[in-house]
Structure 1
Amino acid sequence: MNDLKLYDPFEKMQFTDTNCFLCGTDITSEQRAPVFAEWLQHTYNLKDKELLLLDKSVSTFGQLTIPCCDHCHTQHLLPLENEIEQASAKGLEGLQQLPPQRLFQWIGKMYYGTLITEMIRETNPLIMPEYAITEDPKMLGKIRSFFSVLQSLRVPMVFSDFLPCSLFILSVDPTEDELPFEYQDELTTMCFSIKIGSVAIICTLLDNEIIKKALGKLYKLTEGKQLHPIQLAEFKARVFYAAYIFAVVPEYFVRQVKPEDKQLILDTLIDDVTNEIFNPWDMTAYAHMLEEMLKPWGIREDTILENPKQPISFLLSEENTFIPMLHYKKPA
């Protein structure tokens, strides 16, 4: 018989090293799971690579682990990681063929794992984070909603006519691609990107595919195309900025459970009557985001906004057609 009861750590703020992050059961401090799977660390030599946390402390991919009971680790996390590993070995096609819900769970686990590390650290009175998540009621509400759908990892769950995120899967041209692995997240806007080999996955969590619909024309233009790394950087800037101006938080509701049910069915509601879905687009704010993504090429805001009404684009021509690009040549 399936356990259909959801775990809510937010009710008692139960974020400790001795409670499983996924089901809440009591564990020892030694029972932990890697946030970034061992296969990922091994394939891309990540174990000793540094990660900057919200409190400005430095960790490594190998050190970043979360409290996890043996059951959740072996029955839920490892099977998911095995699926992703096998799919990623087949490149773009393999990852595109995965059920979107599995990719959501995989990215969600890494995002939440990074986040939960921050929240556990905040319970230490000697640590003074620059941005304390546990002191922000709005952010806690978002995370609580997100965790309710992330539990589809543990509890059999069907999302009724929605996916709790937007997923973009892009192919990167290898000609000038020097990074076999790249990772970026923005905890407050719940935006996440990961590049493994020649495939980049960008995800905005907790938006019910609204951002994917908003950027649908652009995403369609990239189908069957290989992006130059600078084009990928621009695509990420557009997604990350869309997440920044996304202004609503979906609510999720579990349908009444009957004794014979073997899974939960979730419905969703977004208050788009009293709230705008997106805050107004600000060209300067977008230029800041794009400048950040274009740092490896040294492209600054004044270049990006040389034409204030039409920021620089490496993806789209003035006629809004895709620009094929094998090489990027810096202006003299």
Structure 2
Amino acid sequence: MAARIYKPFDLFNFSNRNCFLTGQALSSTEEKIQVFPQWLMSMYALEDKPFKMLDESMATYKDLKIPCAANVNEQYLEPLEADVANAFANGYKGVKSLDSLKLFQWVGKLLYGIIFNEIQAGIKMQHAQGEEFSMSQAIIHKFGQLHLMLQSLNQPIHFEDFTPYSLFLFQVDNQPEEFGYRDEINTQTFALRIKDFGLVMCLQDNGANARYHQKIYKQIKDDRLHPIQFEEFSARVFYSAYLFNRLPEYNILPVGEEVYIEAMPLRGMSSKPLFDDWIVKTYGQVLENFWKNWGFLLFEIIKDPEHPKSFLFNADGNRISTEDINLPR
């Protein structure tokens, strides 16, 4: 049987009558799963906590659901959730030993679930105003590529000699009850800081952000970080994901029941660098947001524009030890 790729963005099908992953018709519009898995919500009592949508409206974590066929959930998603839950239960060591493709699928399912809910809300709002819902072609292309790669969950999809994501994982000295979550769906960037670890992932960059930050990551990846250090590194990655100016393209090669995805060169026909220029003031604004827990303001962060405030490296470029940071965790 030939591989069948489901493309929800071709028909803009975001109803509750079709499975989000396969497109198959559902027996009921109530056939749904949670975007944030129950095991994670229970661990941090997230169910009734507020979750801000892009239109500034508020939902709760438990409100976020996506239509999913029961057989798809049982066969593909529940085993993935079990593997990730088991890895998270074992903290940093468990996550480090987890297949990074599974982590990509798990993060991808979560981010795509948020995207699905945002699109549904947008369609509803526009229709209420008598308008047609519209999105930029670049965003449609990007979200469509994520959905394609997410289908590696339920069919044999192979990434030919490339990794579609950048992953950064650290040991972090977190408070036991803390749930640190952040995402940026337009750049498909995700950060999670819980238990004794923190991870940052860029979902659709073909490893470009990993290469961009490889020098710094190599210097700190084996250290146990203070939370403010992890947030600083996260801010760097979220900002570089914003500066990344390519829209990755792929050759999709169905071969019988299997699908091979081949990445086109990111440079393409352009001689322009892959990342726009790093602007210290803009980075400082990003960092101010990531450092909200500690109350640092922009003017403190960029007082010396040549050396913005850092808890990772001192002015000489030397690593700052976690033990030398006298701030709350």
TM-score (norm 1): 0.92
What is residue 65 of structure 1 aligned with on the other side?
65
What are structure 1's unaligned runs of at least 5 residues? none
1:23 aligns with 2:22: yes
What is residue 264 of structure 1 aligned with on the other side?
259
Separation of aligned partners in 2, 1:300 and 1:291: 6
Range with greater deviation from structure 2 (44-53 or 106-115): 44-53
Distance 1:125 1:323, change over 3 A: closer
Q: Is the 8 A contact 1:248 1:270 kept in 2?
A: no
Distance 1:223 1:133, change over 3 A: farther
Separation of aligned partners in 2, 1:184 and 1:320: 28
Distance 1:99 1:209, change over 3 A: same
**More helix per residue: 1 or 2?**
2
What is residue 44 of structure 1 aligned with on the other side?
44
1:146 counterpart letter in structure 2: L
What is residue 281 of structure 2 aligned with on the other side?
284
1:303 aligns with 2:328: no
What are structure 2's unaligned runs of at least 5 residues? none
1:322 counterpart letter in structure 2: R
Counting only pairs closer than 5 Å after superposition, residues 1-332 of structure 1 correspond to structure 2 as 4-27=3-26, 28-125=28-125, 134-174=134-174, 177=175, 179-258=177-256, 261=257, 263-272=258-267, 273-274=269-270, 275-326=272-323, 328-329=325-326
Range with greater deviation from structure 2 (153-162 or 237-246): 153-162
Residue aligned with 2:323, SS: coil
Range with greater deviation from structure 2 (216-225 or 105-114): 216-225
Separation of aligned partners in 1, 2:42 and 2:58: 20
Residue 151 of structure 1 and its aligned partner are, at CA, apart by: 1.2
Separation of aligned partners in 1, 2:213 and 2:133: 29
Residue 265 of structure 1 and its aligned partner are, at CA, apart by: 1.8
Number of aligned positions between the proteins: 322
Distance 1:128 1:142, change over 3 A: farther
Q: Is the 8 A contact 1:17 1:120 kept in 2?
A: no
Separation of aligned partners in 1, 2:126 and 2:254: 44
Q: Is the 8 A contact 2:20 2:66 kept in 1?
A: yes
Distance 1:271 1:327, change over 3 A: closer
1:267 counterpart letter in structure 2: E
Distance 1:256 1:137, change over 3 A: closer
TM-score (norm 2): 0.92
Distance 1:134 1:154, change over 3 A: farther
Q: Is the 8 A contact 1:133 1:140 kept in 2?
A: no
2:245 counterpart letter in structure 1: A
Distance 1:109 1:134, change over 3 A: farther
Residue aligned with 2:158, SS: strand
Distance 1:153 1:133, change over 3 A: farther
2:214 counterpart letter in structure 1: G
Residue 138 of structure 1 and its aligned partner are, at CA, apart by: 1.5
Q: Is the 8 A contact 2:301 2:309 kept in 1?
A: yes
Q: Is the 8 A contact 1:169 1:200 kept in 2?
A: yes
Deviations 1:162-216 (A, max 9, x none): 1111011111114xx3652111111111111112311111111100111011101
Deviations 1:35-68 (A, max 9, x none): 1111111112111111001111111111211111
1:145 counterpart letter in structure 2: Q
Q: Is the 8 A contact 2:172 2:198 kept in 1?
A: yes
RMSD across aligned positions (CA): 2.0
Residue 271 of structure 1 and its aligned partner are, at CA, apart by: 4.0
* Same amino acid, percent of matched pairs: 34
Residue aligned with 1:124, SS: helix
Deviations 1:198-247 (A, max 9, x none): 11111111001110111011111222211111111101100000101000
Separation of aligned partners in 1, 2:313 and 2:134: 41
Residue aligned with 1:141, SS: helix
Q: Is the 8 A contact 2:50 2:59 kept in 1?
A: yes
Separation of aligned partners in 1, 2:278 and 2:265: 20
Residue 133 of structure 1 and its aligned partner are, at CA, apart by: 8.4
Residue 134 of structure 1 and its aligned partner are, at CA, apart by: 3.8
